[in-house]
Amino acid sequence: MTPTLRPTTRRLALLLGGLAMFGPFSIDTIFPAFPSIGAQLGADPVAMQQTISVYLVAYALMSVVHGPLSDAIGRRRVILGGLLVFAAASAGCALARDLPTLLAFRALQGLSSGVGLIVGRAVIRDVLQGHDAQRLMSQVSMIFGIAPAIAPIIGGWLLGWSRWPMIFWFLVAFALVLVVATWLVLPETHPPASRLPLAARSLVRDYAAIFVNPRFQRLAAAASFNFGALFLYIASAPVFVLEMLRLHGRHLDETQFAWFFVPTIGGMIVGAFVSGRAAGRMSGDRLVRIGFAASAIAMAYDVVYNLLVPVPAVPWAVLPMSLHAFGIALVFPVLTLAILDMYPRQRGSASSLQAFTSLVMNALIAGALSPLISHDARWLAFAAAAMTLVAFAFWRWEAGSAQCESLRSDGADLPPT
């Protein structure tokens, strides 16, 4: 039976936040188990890094389908189907006895895990508009932000209590809980009258139209590069935490990932809270400028610290991650809603293509850039700072273009851009 009553904003925020969490859980809970999985399956650290990149590649490829599929058959069906596939894939990971099997089921996890985040964004824009949508997006971001902080901690606890397959059984249980919650709480927010037919030719045409839109390119690039600077450290966490960070002169162990993730995600949660409170009181442009200013300060500190201190130590080495995450949380809701508002009839497709852009970036970071530079804290700092600078450049480009368009609409005599 499909719910017909719209849930309260708080219940919807909790559900959509939970749905967005199982993607990060898929990445971060297994970080503490990298050494034990590699030892049992005969995989070196570079091979283990591919458990992240293969997941992200599959996630990116399927992300272009989740949104249009929800535009065609409804949000609720797609979310429920993705959760069930994810539960089955997680069980396959738990039962894997060699690396190729593990990678295959990790890919299946990636194919299904995007439904919560991608379709959830479309749900937000289905039910709310303007500042209300920004507030709900920020609330979901606050809940979503908890996942990367607690996931490696949960993974470390489970590893201390049992063997590494228990981490994947935990993901099975989490997915099944979300199935029940979605079935009971989430109504269908995209009614049949608003649905679009799912045809390959029209899908390709629509995607091409969105992708070649210069405004979409600028907004998506700004969001992707900005988060990519933080994701570089997340993807490098097994090396950064276990081999680089020191506490009282000693290496951290697999139970101490909280030293990195709690401050980082704490900054994101605070930023999401501020973004929600600022909705309707402060313009989106000003929020974005404050967010990029926070990220710039964080990355400048990161570079200087790693140039001056040869051995990074907590808490000083993770402070810039916290401030940068705060800045991301201010910027992301504004950029995402701007993209969704460009295509009111194709919000699922717009959300999918934005996610695809970000996920391709993250897959390249996890599969290529992180293994190349994660052994040196200085290179991590340089690369993160460069990505933040590129993100800001794209935002300034978009802001300048929008200002020119506004002046033209007011009759100003401006040269074409």
Closest by CA position to 111, among listed 157, 181, 49, 63: 63
311 domain-assigned: yes
Residue 154, pLDDT above cutoff 60 = yes
Domain range holding 153? 9-186+199-403
C-alpha 362/C-alpha 51 separation (Å) is: 13
- pLDDT for 408: 55
Res. 218 pLDDT band, cuts 50 70 90 = very high
Per residue in 245-281, pLDDT tens?
A: 888 778 787 667 778 888 888 898 888 888 888 877 8
411 domain-assigned: no
C-alpha 109/C-alpha 151 separation (Å) is: 16
417 domain-assigned: no
Residue 8, pLDDT above cutoff 70 = no
The amino acid at residue 307 is: L
pTM score: 0.72
The amino acid at residue 286 is: R
Per residue in 361-414, pLDDT tens?
A: 887 888 789 888 988 999 999 999 999 999 999 999 988 876 666 555 554 443
Mean pLDDT, range 214-235, rounded to an integer: 91
416 domain-assigned: no
Residue 176, pLDDT above cutoff 90 = yes
- pLDDT for 386: 97
Length of the chain: 417
Per residue in 112-129, pLDDT tens?
A: 988 887 888 778 877 777
C-alpha 110/C-alpha 290 separation (Å) is: 33
Per residue in 308-355, pLDDT tens?
A: 998 888 889 999 999 999 999 899 888 988 888 888 777 777 877 887
371 domain-assigned: yes
143 domain-assigned: yes
**Domain count of the fold of the chain:** 1
Share of the chain above pLDDT 90, in %: 29
Q: Is the dihedral of CA 383, 388, 394, 396 positive or negative?
A: negative
315 domain-assigned: yes
368 domain-assigned: yes
- pLDDT for 404: 62
Q: Is the dihedral of CA 284, 290, 296, 302 positive or negative?
A: negative
Res. 417 pLDDT band, cuts 50 70 90 = very low
C-alpha 39/C-alpha 41 separation (Å) is: 6
CA torsion angle for 349, 144, 190, 8 (degrees, to 10)?
A: -160
Per residue in 227-244, pLDDT tens?
A: 999 989 988 888 888 888
Res. 179 pLDDT band, cuts 50 70 90 = very high
Per residue in 90-109, pLDDT tens?
A: 999 999 989 999 999 999 99
- Other C-beta atoms closer than 10 Å to the C-beta of 181 total 16
Closest by CA position to 230, among listed 270, 271, 268: 268
- pLDDT for 27: 80
Which CATH number characterizes residue 340's domain?
1.20.1250.20
The amino acid at residue 68 is: P
Q: What is the mean pLDDT of the chain?
A: 83
